Amino acid sequence: MSERHGLRGYIGSRPYYGSRAPQHIQNLVIRDYCQKRGKPFLLSATEYAMPGCYMMLERVFNELPKVEGIVLYSLFMMPAERARRAQLWDVLRREGGTVHAAVEGYAIETEADIERVETIWRLQETMPHCPKAI
């Protein structure tokens, strides 16, 4: 039997791609996500408000050997820089576990899951450069 137990939440106070939700709402969404999957919810780590800061996210990823996984409020709470995301994906590959995105309803565990998420990120990065429909 695995010694890993529960899903650690991850929330923040700054906007992500123009979207912002109060922290208590983020925790409600994460708790509901865990409950629907029958997984224990471990209290959320809250990211510092400084732009570009991911100290708490890195700490949560370093907990992967001890927990079943991480539940991000949103996939877009991951670093915008591909190289920083790649470092976190390397931790996931090495330590195992699962990263969940509660708002999007995604579970990221395999290489194919990571590739799907990176495709979504590339689309998100491209959208502001697309011409607007009339």
Question: What is the predicted pLDDT for the residue at 2?
Answer: 60
Q: What is the pTM of this model?
A: 0.90
Q: For residue 39, is it within any domain?
A: yes
Neighbours of 28 (CB within 10 A): 14
Distance CA 12, CA 32 (A): 17
Q: For residue 56, is it within any domain?
A: yes
Q: Helix 55-62 and helix 82-95: axis angle, to 10°?
A: 20
**Whole-angstrom distance between the N-terminal and C-terminal Cα of the chain?**
57
Q: Please, are residues 26 and 59 in contact by the beta-carbon 8 Å criterion?
A: no
Q: What is the CATH classification number for the domain harbouring 81?
A: 3.40.50.1390
What is the amino acid identity at position 34? C
In which domain, by residue range, is 107 found? 7-129
Residue pLDDT, tens place only, 5-17? 899 999 999 987 7
Q: What are phi and psi of 106, to 5 degrees?
A: -100, 145
What's the mean pLDDT in 117-131? 80
Q: What are phi and psi of 11, to 5 degrees?
A: -130, 175
Instruction: Quickly list H helices, the chain.
Output: 23-36, 55-62, 82-95, 111-126
Q: For residue 2, is it within any domain?
A: no
Q: For residue 59, is it within any domain?
A: yes
Percent of the chain with pLDDT over 90: 79
Q: For residue 1, is it within any domain?
A: no
H/E element holding 46?
A: strand 41-46
**Count of domains for the chain:** 1
Q: For residue 99, is it within any domain?
A: yes
Question: What is the predicted pLDDT for the residue at 1?
Answer: 45
